[in-house]
Amino acid sequence: MSWCIYILRCNDGKLYTGITNNLERRLKEHNSARGCRFTKYRTPVELVYSEKARGRPAALIREAKIKRLPRQKKLELIIPQRKLQR
């Protein structure tokens, strides 16, 4: 089972970081206000970043590291990935 770390941009501009083993399902949960308390009243949310992890423990460690980053550093993670998608 593959795990990934993801960052969402909420409709108020705030960023949410989480992990999942099914990104498509989790994104639908967040947008239907069933994902978590943080995103419940901030829908719709947009997936702005994701990366794969070797397993759940690795995903949890990486998620904690990302959550400790200041907002600017999180945005720096997001921006290079967006340039690659164009």
18 vs 83: CA distance, rounded Å? 22
Supply the range of the domain harboring residue 36.
3-85
pLDDT at residue number 83: 54
List all residues 6 or more positions away from 37 whose beta carbon is below 8 Å from its beta carbon: none
Residue 15's DSSP bridge partners are 9
Total of domains in the chain: 1
Residues of the chain with pLDDT under 70: 1, 80-86
pLDDT at residue number 79: 84
Residue 30 belongs to domain with CATH number: 3.40.1440.10
pLDDT at residue number 82: 56
74 vs 67: CA distance, rounded Å? 8
pLDDT at residue number 86: 47
**pTM to 2 decimal places:** 0.89
For strands 15-20 and 46-53, give the pairing.
Answer: unpaired
